């Protein structure tokens, strides 16, 4: 165990429920949430907003040389998802063969174990994505 708990705990609403933020002045939606709008800055007014978790694959990669703590998951897919509400979000695409992943395919959010801090540390949970039915 090497990490403190608070660093993870404070992000739980965003990582478990995809709670983002929105600037009420310009209407821009942010995920991950921001406390300052990069357009309006101090003239902005930030509020919280829950996101749908639905979106389309903007780009992806199939990771063969995994990050520390992710070695047992290789090969895994990391993608940038264009959410319906506007922002891009980075996350894994699971429950499919990497060969099925393509730019433009629709995805939806799932709640999963992400990684763990060694054998004795906390287990990190959060969002991942899976391929969804094409909407007509």
Could you list the residues that contact other proteins (CB under 8 A)?
11, 31-32, 38, 58-70, 73, 76, 78-80, 87-92, 98, 103, 114-115, 124, 126, 128
Name the minimum Å distance from CB 14 to other proteins: 9
Nearer to other proteins, 69 or 136 (CB): 69
C-beta of residue 5 within 8 angstroms of C-beta of residue 122: yes
Strands across the sheet with 29-30, in order?
29-30, 19-23, 46-50
When the beta carbons of 117 and 132 are compared against other proteins, the nearer one is 117
Give the nearer residue to other proteins in terms of CB position, either 25 or 115: 115
Q: What's the chain's Rg over C-alpha atoms?
A: 16
What is the smallest separation between the CB atom of 126 and other proteins, expressed in angstroms? 7
Considering beta carbons, is residue 125 or 132 the nearer one to other proteins?
Answer: 125
Partner residues linked to 82 by β-bridges = 56, 88
Beta bridge partners of 124: 115
CB of 80 to other proteins, least distance (A): 6
Backbone angles phi, psi at 128, to 5 degrees: -135, 180
Question: What's the min distance (Å) between Cβ of 40 and other proteins?
Answer: 15
Let me know: does 104 contact 131? Beta carbons within 8 Å: no
């Amino acid at each position: 165990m090497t990490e403190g708990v608070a660093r993870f705990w404070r992000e739980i609403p965003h990582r478990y429920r995809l709670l983002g933020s929105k600037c009420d002045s310009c209407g821009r939606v942010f995920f991950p949430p921001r406390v300052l709008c990069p357009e309006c800055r101090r003239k902005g007014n930030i509020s919280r907003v829950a996101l749908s978790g639905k979106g389309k694959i903007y780009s992806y990669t199939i990771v063969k040389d995994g990050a520390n703590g992710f070695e047992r998951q290789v090969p895994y897919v990391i993608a940038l998802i264009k959410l319906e509400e506007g922002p891009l979000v980075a996350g894994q695409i699971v429950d499919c063969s990497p060969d099925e992943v393509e730019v433009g395919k629709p995805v939806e959010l799932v709640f999963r174990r992400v990684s763990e801090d060694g054998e004795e540390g906390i287990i990190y949970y959060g969002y991942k994505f899976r391929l969804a039915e094409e909407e007509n």
